[in-house]
Amino acid sequence: MSPDDAAARTFSDSWHRVANVRVELRSSVRAHRQVFRGQPWVMLRDTLSSDWFRITADAWSFVSRLSLERSIDETWLLALEADPDLALTQEEVVQLLGQLNLSNLLNFDRASAGASLFDRYSKRRRQETRALLMGFLSIRIPLLDPDRLLEAARPLIRGLFGPVGALLYLGLLALAGKALMDHGDRLFDQSAGLLAPGNLALLYVGFIIAKVVHEFGHAAACKRYGGEVHKMGVMLLIFAPMPYVDATASWGFRHRGERVMVGVAGVLAELGVAAVAALLWANTAPGAINAIAYNVIFVASVSSALFNLNPLLRFDGYHMLVDLIDVPNLFQRSREQLRYLAQRFILALPNAQPAARTRTEAWLLPLYGVSSIVYWLMLMSTIVFFIAGEYLDLGVVLAWVLAFTVVVMPIWKLLKFLATSPKLAHFRLRSVGICLAIAGLALALLGWVPMPDRVRASGVLEATAYRQLNSESSGFLVEMMSFPGAAVRKGEPLMRLESPDLIFDLRAAMLQREQLLAQELRATAVALADVMPLRRQREATESVILELDRQRAALTVVAPIDGIWSAPDLETGLGRWVARGSPLGAVVDPQSWRFVAVLPQVATHLFDNSVHQVEVRLRGEEHINIVARDARIVPFETGTLPSKALGFAGGGDIAVAPGDQNGLTAAEPFFRIQAHLPAEALLAERPALAHGRLGTLRLTLEDAPLLVQWERGIRQFLQRRFRV
């Protein structure tokens, strides 16, 4: 580090604002030590408000010297004289005092010359509160003090957290798991109506039941290990009230295992109530109680996985992760480290201070910061689209709120930082220039520079000449006379079916024909008027016999042409029932091949662009790139898909008709894209060719800027998802 950098890190441009301020910790603040990764930390707790703050031992060395009898500058010089190697820099002191004031842990002399800095921090706190009210997670409203109730229930709590309680808990989970497995089909079928208007009230009741038990689980665990719980109330989450409990007293527990147990206790309690709900759901008839029990099961499982246990959100999983990896203030410091990296390596500010104190934290903090931001964006986007799928107007409102939070607020904070931050006192013009240059370069690259534009579509490999095989009769498979993949000749038997019902119907029809023939001969001699009706009945019976005889002959499936029998989806187990019309594969001519792909018709830009290249990659051999030719794009309003794997029923992108058991009839318009695979390309690459093999087709269009491509992709997604 150069002397100039060292001086910049030691001294602060904001020091004159705080140098003459006299400040001290509030008299209600208590401090005790904790150890993380072998390093001592100090926990500060306000016994009146239950606010907590964790600082390093070096910071405590400075904070413990604060007094209204001397100024901050005098205190800093005193700490510097006592231990110059470990003393905080002026910039670190300014940031520390601001954070302590935000946590309401300081008393200071407002008549001091630098008190305006603390007023600025107070204003910032009010602004953050308003921002919090505008976000998805809102303000907490305390309603009651549950500590006396928990104290009275301490003997019961000890039992629940003891060996006997653990055995009973495991037994309850085992019984609930068995009940859910026994009713697995009904469990998933019922999920389709979770967001139906008639179920919303019951879903909210189930949510409240699960979360109240969850919060009492935290409170009970905190009380079990000697903590106090004085706040329980309501917190707004996505505009919906939900219960919360303040179990932050556990942050002061010296043993890591106790802190982790308090964090996991809420989820354990929620799983316990979900187990009770599962038993109730499995043993009750459809009705309000059954529906509430099912909603409790859903809330306890999904919310625990997405929110409570996820360490990327500041819920239970986050606090457990902090204790397990011994990195205190992980969320806040990860943001500070990202800001430091931006200030140090983008704005080149010499006075930027890192939040990381070790080499491990130097990569862990930014990794966690980026991961948590990305996960939050993905989760909020998923919630918005999930809600919009059922309630479009509410989804649009949430989308605007999310866009404001993700786009407008960060830009506003950046502009405010560039305009007012004391860190930029000597570098403001340069920093503004750097930001403008980066923004201009990004807009130019995204909105002006053409980039490769490609469209991908799922499809299947087909032989140009082939004959589809379908069972013309129903029966049990009794013999495989040839196996898929073998070369066959026209008329060669492939498999044999047996149908006792068909043989019985044929014999009955033949007996009926003999009876009608005898009656016809007798009528010729006795009653000529009955001859014609009997003859018509006999002819109808003979037609039935011809059809049944044709079906009997069709019990032996033969090859319609010379070629290779391809049947990738055929089940060849002997004794299985083959329904009439079931697909049995195809006999293909392996000399010529094509690839057929399907694409939803929202991709209308295909007709506005020229296709420069067509490439095909087959599933399982993605490393082989086959250059195709003669691609034809044909719109289909409705039609039959080349393979059921391309429809929703098989995991594809095209909606299929609900009544089609084979999953081949498209329920929405689609483009059929057909491309010929040249023989020379197949000989050069030598892929494994099989009729019906899945793959991906890629069309290379004219280059277009990324902003154009992204706008088109978002518009197509919304058109297809919401039909707008």
Same domain? For 358 and 430 the reply is yes
Percent of the chain with pLDDT over 90: 13
The mean per-residue pLDDT over the stretch 464-482 comes to 86
389 confidence band (pLDDT: 50, 70, 90) = confident
pTM: 0.65
The answer to whether residue 116 scores a pLDDT higher than 70 is no
DSSP string, 195-206: TSGGGHHHHHHH
Which residue type occupies 73? D
Q: Which of 578, 606, 621 is the last residue of a domain?
A: 578
Same domain? For 276 and 393 the reply is no
The mean per-residue pLDDT over the stretch 390-417 comes to 88
pLDDT at 117: 46
The mean per-residue pLDDT over the stretch 420-430 comes to 86
The answer to whether residue 388 scores a pLDDT higher than 50 is yes
pLDDT at 195: 67
Torsion of CA 275, 280, 283, 284, to 10 degrees: -150
The mean per-residue pLDDT over the stretch 226-235 comes to 84
> Which one has a higher pLDDT value, 170 or 635?
170
Same domain? For 668 and 574 the reply is no
On whether residue 584 sits in a domain, the answer given is no
Same domain? For 573 and 600 the reply is no
Query: 320-334, 482-496, 635-649 — which is least confidently predicted?
Result: 635-649
pLDDT at 211: 85
pLDDT at 130: 52
Same domain? For 687 and 712 the reply is yes
Q: How many CA atoms lie within 13 A of 304 on its CB side?
A: 23
Domain that holds residue 121: 3-134
| Tokens coding 351 | 């006075």
Percent of the chain with pLDDT over 70: 88
pLDDT per residue over 583-621, tens digit each?
A: 888 888 888 889 998 888 766 667 666 788 899 999 888
496 close to 478: Cβ distance less than 8 angstroms: yes
Query: 200-214, 405-419, 496-510, 697-711 — which is least confidently predicted?
Result: 200-214
pLDDT at 11: 67
On whether residue 586 sits in a domain, the answer given is no
On whether residue 585 sits in a domain, the answer given is no
pLDDT at 316: 84
345 confidence band (pLDDT: 50, 70, 90) = very high
Same domain? For 630 and 655 the reply is yes
pLDDT per residue over 138-154, tens digit each?
A: 456 778 888 888 888 98
Same domain? For 680 and 718 the reply is yes
The mean per-residue pLDDT over the stretch 16-33 comes to 81
pLDDT at 437: 95
DSSP string, 407-441: IIHHHHHHHHHHHH-GGGTTTHHHHHHHHHHHHHH
pLDDT at 432: 93
Same domain? For 353 and 314 the reply is no
- The C-alpha atoms of residue 435 and residue 410 are separated, in whole angstroms, by 13
Name beta bridge partners: 557: 495
pLDDT at 8: 46
On whether residue 110 sits in a domain, the answer given is yes
pLDDT per residue over 27-52, tens digit each?
A: 778 787 777 666 778 888 776 666 66
Same domain? For 112 and 228 the reply is no
Q: Which of 134, 164, 182 is the last residue of a domain?
A: 134
Which residue type occupies 444? A
On whether residue 232 sits in a domain, the answer given is yes
Report the number of distinct structural domains present in the chain. 5
Same domain? For 676 and 597 the reply is yes
The mean per-residue pLDDT over the stretch 270-294 comes to 88
The mean per-residue pLDDT over the stretch 353-359 comes to 85
pLDDT per residue over 619-676, tens digit each?
A: 888 889 999 987 888 876 667 787 777 777 666 777 777 766 667 777 777 888 889 9
pLDDT at 351: 80
On whether residue 531 sits in a domain, the answer given is yes
Same domain? For 62 and 162 the reply is no
On whether residue 474 sits in a domain, the answer given is yes
On whether residue 278 sits in a domain, the answer given is yes
Same domain? For 203 and 351 the reply is no
Q: What is the mean pLDDT of the chain?
A: 82
Q: Which of 414, 447, 480 is the last residue of a domain?
A: 447
Q: What is the CATH number of the domain that holds 114?
A: 3.90.930.60
> Which one has a higher pLDDT value, 89 or 140?
89
- The C-alpha atoms of residue 80 and residue 223 are separated, in whole angstroms, by 42
Query: 115-124, 597-606, 699-708 — which is least confidently predicted?
Result: 115-124
